[in-house]
């Protein structure tokens, strides 16, 4: 094995301020990070999936929903996440030609799925638009 890059990563296991479900759309990466910091989320377990909440609300296959729920359970078990942040964004490739209201409805539906699976979690819902972040 040949070392190609030196970097000192923290060794200590962390406590996550939240488990965060976002789309992998890189246009919103910076605003997500800044907004989370503003909401008191410095360290988080981020689940990045195209369409974000759609994987819970209307999964392409039932296995997708189970996979996300398992990632959430792992975040809770390993890093003590007590907060789930569900997001969606405008102009999402998982919703081509669909209005933002459909994304927002899926975020609400996803919140119900989370509440049913993990009733102890605090669930927050946000919609990211090109001019800022909205609570939904």
CB-based contacts of 96-104 (< 8 A; 24+ apart in sequence): 100/127, 100/129, 103/53, 103/54, 103/127, 104/136
Least distance between Zn ion and beta carbon 16 (Å)? 23
Longest Cα separation, the chain:
50
82 vs 57: CA distance, rounded Å: 21
Calpha distance 131→3 (Å, rounded): 42
Q: Which is nearer to Zn ion, 103 or 121 (CB)?
A: 103
Q: Which residues bind Zn ion (CB under 5 A)?
A: 23, 25, 92
Rank residues 95 and 114 by Cβ distance to Zn ion and give the closer one.
Answer: 95
Between residues 76 and 104, which has the closer beta carbon with respect to Zn ion? 104
Q: How far is the CB of 49 from Zn ion (least distance, A)?
A: 9
Cβ count within 10 A of residue 90: 18
Q: Which helix (H) or strand (E) holds 56?
A: helix 54-57
Between 23 and 55, name the residue whose CB sits nearer to Zn ion.
23
Taking the complex as a whole, how short is the minimal distance between the CB of residue 106 and Zn ion, in angstroms? 11
- Compute the least distance from the CB of residue 113 to Zn ion, in Å: 19
């Amino acid at each position: 094995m040949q070392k190609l890059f030196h970097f000192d990563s923290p060794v200590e296991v962390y406590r996550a301020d939240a488990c965060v479900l976002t789309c992998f759309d890189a246009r919103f990466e910076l605003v997500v990070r800044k907004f989370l910091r503003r909401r008191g989320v410095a360290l988080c377990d981020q689940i990045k999936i195209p369409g974000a909440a759609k994987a819970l609300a209307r999964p392409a296959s039932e296995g997708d929903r189970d996979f996300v729920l398992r990632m959430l359970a792992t975040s809770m078990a390993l890093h003590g996440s007590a907060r789930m942040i569900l997001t969606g964004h405008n102009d999402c490739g998982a919703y081509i030609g669909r209005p933002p209201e459909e994304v927002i409805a899926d975020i609400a539906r996803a919140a119900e799925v989370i509440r049913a699976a993990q009733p102890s979690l605090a669930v927050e819902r946000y919609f990211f638009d090109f001019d800022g972040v909205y609570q939904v």
